[in-house]
Structure 1
Amino acid sequence: MDLLQNPFHILNASPRDNRRRIMELADERSLLLDSSECMEARSELTNPRKRLSAEVAWLPGIGPKRAEEVLSLIESSPMDLLAVDNLSAIARANLLAAGLARLPDHNADDVAEWILEIAWAFDGLAPDALRVIINEERIVSGFPEVSDLSAVEAEIQERRRHYRQVIKASLDNLSPKELVEAVTFAVESATVDGEEQGPTLIADLVDSYEVEAQGFLDKEEGNIRVLVDKLRAAVDAEWSDSTLTPMVNQLIQVVKNWDTVAQPIQVSMKSRGLDHDASHRVAGLVRGLAVYMFNEHGKLDFSQQITNMLQEVFVEVGEVAERTAEDADALGEIAEQRKLSQLLAPISDLCKVALENSEKQPTSADREAQKVMDAAPQLIAELSALKRGVEVLSQGKDEIALTLMHCAVVYGNNTEKWKICLTFLEEAFKYASSQNVKSRIQSNLNTVRDNDRVCGNLSPISSAPSLHTINGIGTTMYGSTDHDPASGTYLSTYYFVFLAIPIFPISRYRVMPTDGGYLFLGKAPLRIFDKCHIAISLGLIVWMIVHMQ
């Protein structure tokens, strides 16, 4: 029941008028209006049961003079009704509903604002408080008080249905685009973007809107499914990116259109702690395509485009938003890694070749390390000129450092030429950027320095010399010099002995004593003393041969 169709308005009566006054007004108004309409209005106002419906649909708690003032605005200046204050919740809701029905040239924003005001006013209705207001006016007018609270509650529900009809009628006067905008704005504002429970009328509005929009949503969901299937077939057929691009753009646009219509439903469902099944279906369908395009065909750019769109349009659908956010993060990391790989490609290619060649020919690892050292300065300079920050530069330096370290270790372990290995490792340490790489190189440096100190002047040996004597004649080890406490090794001389007397020093070795023998680390050059010993021994032998003749 509209305010201007209310029996109180038809008879120009007030809820405070008694039965006699109502009958007089009915007789007076019948001279100006349709008499049957006036008699019906009189009947409704004088019958206590029928009267309650008119009272709840009127302006309870408002005096006759003020009621006349606000009613005059409904037709003359309905926009001014929003500023009317100090009204009971039911009076404000009834007044705004009448104003909304008469708004001239309204747009989406206007309608949304009025819907919100009516919804908030309706949510402020309390059956007990309304009954008190009505009974206060009935006491004045002489009608029996309302004792049945359920009757008031039933009339409030009738008002709720009336408000829904007024809201729907105002929305139907908008274009489809404006209608969606109005409903979306009203729902988002009323629920704080789905974070809070909205007013009852907003939930009613969305339920009605969903029924109206279902045909469009179902049809577009079917179109989305067709586009997804076409894109899957296209990537399987290895169509070019230039051909796939318009197809992906079309899918994105259709999904956005679908979501625009579904948006108020999604927000309302979120505010009520419910899931919107259609949104889950559509998002799952399109997300599956994005995953498939990347996992099966490596289409990173397209997958990112689709995922970013899903993240944007389904932000109100909690589970979908979480999954697409995870997808976006994962794809972003992959994309960033690819960019880094492209920037580091020249260094990576250089290092890859050096590592492969040093593994194939360990004794040539020094040449591979030298190639890296020769090329590294220019490559690092080029990398430094790129606008990607210190991260890329650090990765490039670390890769060079690790390659030099590997070549040094491989070469040293296979040749035992530790001095050149020190050069490589010291250069590697200069390039190292991360603390972890520095620690690894430093550990190898310490080891190689120890090896160089102990074995730096040694020649590698293929096998240990024979230590064997018969009746004091043979070969054995004599002496110990140049002790190295850290390794427990020393230099010892390998002698030919005769009757247990050392005759000729054959060579010198760095050895580590073991249980009942020695571990030979390498061969050292003879000392001057050893060479003199050989000369003296040879001289004695020559002298003995000469004198024996």
Structure 2
Amino acid sequence: MAFSLADNPFARLAVSVRARAARIEDAFEDAVIDHPHEETALLKMKQALTFPKPRLENEIRWLPDISPAKAEQVMAALRSGDAQETLRLLRYDSSPISAANIAADACGRFSVDLFAERLMAAHADLSVAEVAQEINAVRAASGFGAVDVPQIEQALVGVRSEHASALVEAAAGGGSPGARVARLLEGRAGAFEDQVAEAYGRWAAPQLREIETATKAKLEGIEVTGEGLIREVARELRTWSDISAPLQLQNDARGLDEPRSLKLYIAARNAAIALANDHGLYDAAHELTEVLSEVFGSLPSA
């Protein structure tokens, strides 16, 4: 799973985000007594909560505004696989950073359709200044030093990336991941949307590469000889369109062509021109042109 609250040291050592260093030390010692064979891993968790940089990274991936009692309710709902209870707790007075962390975890455990919109909305509402205020309020209670806005902004880069990967991984586990991610991105723009598009691009790259290689080989054959299975090419181009839809959408929002889709469009367009001009196969050229209109309609150049 790409993002898990259960892996956070605050969860593993069962300490509140408001706990002072002495309480964290006690929790570490208790955990070693219960799990002596995990002492090395537990020591790293203690250090992750007491050393400045890793502490901030874990605070920002936890539930900083949520009381210990409610945090335990959230973890219990996640552990038991209770999607509706998780959704109820998510809707109940959580700050954007806590809501985003819960939703990112839930995307990997439950239906992505149930939590993806909430994850997108939480990131849209997220304010770096407000996160800094939340973290510093907690630190005033825990006795750790205050952090500033640039530190929070830097830490959020990694969080956005992990949440985006969680969303894409969950979407890829069901049918039509391209259409699902494209729907989430449509009409939205921001740092998190860019991270989602990047994460999706990494997931889609091997599949697109395979389709591109096979389709270009067929198109080159059609262009040279005028012979080939237009419908087979059309099927591959439609599959390309389904997978690349989020990438085309993000580029189109900026008035740009998605580079790999543009190259494939040009190759197919050249084949259609060759069918008409070089081989006199006007019906085949028309059939391929109709497919191009359908598949590459969101490319500005097309």
Q: TM-score category by the smaller chain?
A: 0.7 to 0.9
Q: What are the superposed Cα offsets for residues 8-28 of structure 1, whole Å, 9 maximum, x if unpaired?
A: 112221122223333333333
Query: In the TM superposition, what is the alpha-carbon distance from 1:291 to its structure 2 partner?
Result: 4.0
Unaligned runs of 5+ in 1: 104-109, 235-245, 321-549
Which amino acid in 1 is paired with 2:7? Q
Q: Distance in 2 between matches of 1:121 and 1:184?
A: 21
Which amino acid in 2 is paired with 1:124? D
2:294 maps to 312
* 1:47 and 2:54 correspond: no
Which amino acid in 1 is paired with 2:127? A
Q: Distance in 1 between matches of 2:225 and 2:183?
A: 34
Matches within 5 A, 1:317-328: 317-320=299-302
Alignment partner for residue 205 of structure 1, among 199, 208, 218?
A: 199
Matched position secondary structure for 1:59: coil
Q: Distance in 2 between matches of 1:61 and 1:15?
A: 9
Which amino acid in 2 is paired with 1:272? R
Q: Distance in 1 between matches of 2:268 and 2:47?
A: 62
Matches within 5 A, 1:233-272: 234=227, 247-272=229-254
* 1:219 and 2:225 correspond: no
1:28 maps to 30
Matches within 5 A, 1:152-167: 152-167=152-167
| Alignment CA distance shift 1:186-1:313 (3 Å) | same
Maintained 8 Å contact 1:4/1:10 = yes
Matched position secondary structure for 2:76: helix
1:95 maps to 102
2:73 maps to 69
Q: What are the superposed Cα offsets for residues 506-527 of structure 1, whole Å, 9 maximum, x if unpaired?
A: xxxxxxxxxxxxxxxxxxxxxx
RMSD of Structure 2 on Structure 1 (CA): 2.9
Q: Distance in 2 between matches of 1:165 and 1:302?
A: 41
Structure 1 length normalisation: TM-score? 0.48
Q: What are the superposed Cα offsets for residues 200-237 of structure 1, whole Å, 9 maximum, x if unpaired?
A: 332222331353334214313323323422552x5xxx
Query: In the TM superposition, what is the alpha-carbon distance from 1:115 to its structure 2 partner?
Result: 4.4
Which amino acid in 2 is paired with 1:141? S
Matched position secondary structure for 2:126: coil
* 1:145 and 2:142 correspond: no
Matches within 5 A, 1:34-433: 34-80=38-84, 81-83=86-88, 84-85=90-91, 86-103=93-110, 110-111=111-112, 114-146=115-147, 148-167=148-167, 169-170=169-170, 174=173, 178=175, 181-192=176-187, 196-197=188-189, 199-229=193-223, 232=226, 234=227, 247-294=229-276, 299-320=281-302
Q: Distance in 1 between matches of 2:225 and 2:18?
A: 72
Comparing both structures, which one devotes a greater share of its residues to strand? 1
Bigger RCO (CA 8 Å, 6+ sep): 2
- Identity across the alignment (%): 22
| Alignment CA distance shift 1:304-1:120 (3 Å) | same
Bigger CA radius of gyration: 1
Matched position secondary structure for 1:60: coil
Unaligned runs of 5+ in 2: none
Which amino acid in 1 is paired with 2:296? F
Which amino acid in 1 is paired with 2:107? L
Maintained 8 Å contact 2:178/2:244 = no
Maintained 8 Å contact 1:2/1:57 = no
Matched position secondary structure for 1:101: helix
Q: Distance in 1 between matches of 2:269 and 2:179?
A: 25
Q: Distance in 2 between matches of 1:89 and 1:142?
A: 24
| Alignment CA distance shift 1:191-1:46 (3 Å) | same
* Length, aligned pairs only: 293
Query: In the TM superposition, what is the alpha-carbon distance from 1:285 to its structure 2 partner?
Result: 3.2
Q: What are the superposed Cα offsets for residues 487-521 of structure 1, whole Å, 9 maximum, x if unpaired?
A: xxxxxxxxxxxxxxxxxxxxxxxxxxxxxxxxxxx
